Structure 1
Amino acid sequence: MMEITVRGMSCGPCARAVTNAVHSVDPNAEVEIDLETKRVAINTIAKLPQLTVAIEKAGYLVEAS
């Protein structure tokens, strides 16, 4: 399980976009999002750089925790 902070994520559609970006890298990933803190917990076999690229392509800034 990895945790990241995703800047610019502030609503339900943002959370869906981030989840979809993660699933584009690993369709079986489990994603838990806390919009208030902008924290995303991801249980995945993917590596952080792959996830970062996908999430940033969706328009958000990733900060590793």
Structure 2
Amino acid sequence: MFTQLHPSIPLHVKGKGDGRALGVIDYGEEHDLIWVTAITETGEIWCAPNPIVRMKANWTMGRKADD
């Protein structure tokens, strides 16, 4: 199943950089979610598996940057 995200979600893809998630692909319970992400710096579109995707830091919500 593909779900378009509106609005897009700012996030970080390990090894690729910061970007905006445009959608999520869910292949079912035996698979990781796949985040369709536009990388800010390069403009590339990557389909990143859930274990390497991190939300951006948010001071108000108490979420620190993932180092």
TM-score, with normalisation over the residues of structure 1?
0.28
Could you say which structure has the larger radius of gyration? 2
- Greater relative contact order structure (CA < 8 Å, 6+ sep): 1
Higher strand share: 2
